[in-house]
Amino acid sequence: MQLVVATLEGLRAELSSAFEQMVDAGPLSCGLSGGATALIYLGALRGARVDWSRVSLFWVDECAVPFTDPESSAGLARQMLIDPMKHERPRTFPMHAAGPDLEEAALDYDHVLDRELSGEPLDLAIVGVGEDGHVGALFAGSPALQAQTRVVAIHDAPRGPRRRLTLSLPFLMSSRRIWVVAVGARKRAIVQAVVGRTGGETPFDLLVRYGEDVTILTDQAVSRGPGGR
């Protein structure tokens, strides 16, 4: 696990630079999450100087709402990142979660991932984290944490919208790189618990503990625990 602590402006610069390096290294498959944190990293990605035709965008989670709804993860990405692009655009593969059958929608997106990634993991997943340690639409104690498929239908999220789609924890953890963006004073406690190794079994804890290559980017002063790297 790597830790980057910087001002909000510094984090945006770090995200933009690191993203440029990844795209320069070759075609990139990238998963995006929604929520308030997306406002931070989507702006950083928009400022990256890359050949967007080399990028394929997928989604980590989506609410069961139309893309025009303010709660839509893909809708936010379109507004903040994709629509403002004037020339090359990424290939985009949004989750279609607004229909009545979430289980079918999860299966459809699983097929999309299998087809587009040829059975491989994502090159990069960019996620936020809630104060309760939830990641994407994966919440502590949810049966969805036990899912072994790539995509999971959520019918009873503890906060609205309650119906969602999300990548499963095993598939998310398999991503070649994971960037967790945790900004604001309300995120300090959960980040400190995970970085200091005093946390528990939240999805955030599990992602950092077992993820392939995890970087936490935060504007909060946190310290590592004994034996931290």
| pLDDT tens-digit series, residues 94-132 | 999 999 999 999 999 999 999 999 999 999 999 999 999
CA torsion 36-39-40-46 (nearest 10°) is 160
Domains assigned to the chain: 2-218 (3.40.50.1360)
Q: 134 falls in which pLDDT band (50, 70, 90)?
A: very high
**Residue 104: in which H helix or E strand, if any?**
helix 102-117
pLDDT digits (tens, 9 = 90+) for 1-21: 999 999 999 999 999 999 999
Mean of the pLDDT values across residues 60-89?
Answer: 94
Residue 139 pLDDT > 60, yes or no?
A: yes
Alpha-carbon span 163 to 173, nearest angstrom: 22
Mean of the pLDDT values across residues 34-38?
Answer: 90
Q: Is the dihedral of CA 154, 159, 162, 164 positive or negative?
A: negative
Q: 199 falls in which pLDDT band (50, 70, 90)?
A: low
Residue by residue, what is the 3-state secondary structure of 49-63? CCCHHHEEEEECEEE
**Amino acid making up residue 125:** A
CB 151 within 8 A of CB 167: yes
pTM of the model: 0.94
Q: 65 falls in which pLDDT band (50, 70, 90)?
A: very high
The DSSP bridge pattern shows strands 164-167 and 151-154 to be: antiparallel
pLDDT digits (tens, 9 = 90+) for 161-189: 999 999 999 999 999 999 999 999 999 99
- Tell me, what's the pLDDT at 160? 82
Q: 227 falls in which pLDDT band (50, 70, 90)?
A: very low
Q: Dihedrals φ, ψ of 207, to 5°?
A: -65, -45
Per the listing, tokens 């602590």 go with 5
Angle between helices 38-46 and 8-24 (to 10 degrees): 50
CB 140 within 8 A of CB 203: yes
Residue 211 pLDDT > 80, yes or no?
A: yes
Mean of the pLDDT values across residues 31-41?
Answer: 92
pLDDT averaged over every residue in the chain: 93
Residue 153 pLDDT > 60, yes or no?
A: yes
